[in-house]
Structure 1
Amino acid sequence: MARTSGAPIARPIFFSFPSYKECYGLSTQFLLGSSLMVSPVLEQGKTLVKALFPPGSWCSVFDMTQTIVSKGQYFTLDAPLNVVNVHLYQNTILPMQPGGMISNEARMTPFTLIVTFPAGASEAQAKGNLYLDNDELPEMKLGNVYSTYVDLYATVKEGTVKICSQVQEGNFALDKGWKIEKVTVLGLGGSVDTSGLEIDGSPVANGASNIELSSVEQMHLQDDDDEDGQGKKNL
């Protein structure tokens, strides 16, 4: 976590990809945490943005039908006024909540888990974490009865996605009524049925749980490099 490592929450791309030298000095994109990449438009009136994607699979957060499979090249992204290009790296679990008019209202909404695996993966792992408190503590820490910390883990193997968690001081979150409402798994290329899901060791099927399972048909976008080593695809 940022408070224990000293790393900023908004950070340069090379923080997560130190061996990928092409991103050294890149100042037009940034990461939120270790895996969520933002590629903003920085020139007035532009509706396209050229973004560098380190090698791997990057799932669009706001258009989950799109996954970029990069060899480490630039892609040109559509960026109209109503679109912010945000991509989540493979092997990640991202907890999300809907917005609200005020922060306290937003914090009481149910969670969605976005799980990303490498494009077309038949066997892979993902992880994430979540810290919850009453939004009034001066610092992030446990042991005060007003906070909960959750480590999240996911695997896919032989057609089954398994999700488990390790919870510290879970009573606070339970008392607040926080729950996971939806799980979205990306990167499987349609190879896994959404009924093949286990959560904390228990099989889950649509209609048998309060958790909604979703299947998203994705386009895995991958370009051959041009002469300059940069992809030409408009997304």
Structure 2
Amino acid sequence: MGSGAAGGTGTIRVMLVDDQAVVRAGFRVLLEQADDIEVVAEASSGSAAVTTARQLRPDVICMDVRMPGGDGLTATRQILAEVGERAPAVLVVTTFDLDEYVFGALESGASGFILKDCEPEELVDAIRRLASGYGLVDQTVTRRVIAEFARRRAAAAPTESAAAQQLTPREAEIVRLLAKGLSNNEIADELFIETSTVKSHLGRAMAKIGVRDRLQTVVWAYQNGLVPR
């Protein structure tokens, strides 16, 4: 996350990236009705987003996918590569439901996505959750994303990476169950342990593999062969 939310001010600093000014204006009006969200910047292209993110370090970036002058996928990859540990959470906002661009953005490190025709409160809630390190917010969408990753990886069957081997057996099992779409409570029930124990193990696993939220943990699990076919 960026410095605003982490710095204890309680205000989530947001940047809006969309090539349509009317969309940015609508989002700004909507978000600024929330007491804990401040829109600190706007950009109309991916390249402008990279420059602005470097200067302002927002907590969350609402990123359009298809834009002239630099697409959201490339911008997401550049922003996250440049900023490193203090990188903002990228929320891909798109009219395209689960298309190749969205998956590319997720694989590039985005924390989640939401459709432009979502309800206003859904967008506000998504930003709050991403700022808290939660990742993709909609459970039904999460399961669809997981199913698509499973389909894509079915033929590849990669071997486990060195990073995966750093996990304890319990951590690996929890990551596998998370990648299958289970919630913390469901994982706890499956393993006959407390939900707080699940959170502790998952937190340690995420630190070891270098991801910052649950969605990127799922992406990592599929990319590194932790989930069997």
Check whether TM > 0.5: no
> Whose helix fraction is larger, Structure 1's or Structure 2's?
2
> Whose strand fraction is larger, Structure 1's or Structure 2's?
1
Q: Give the TM-score of the pair, scaled to structure 2.
A: 0.27
Q: Give the TM-score of the pair, scaled to structure 1.
A: 0.26
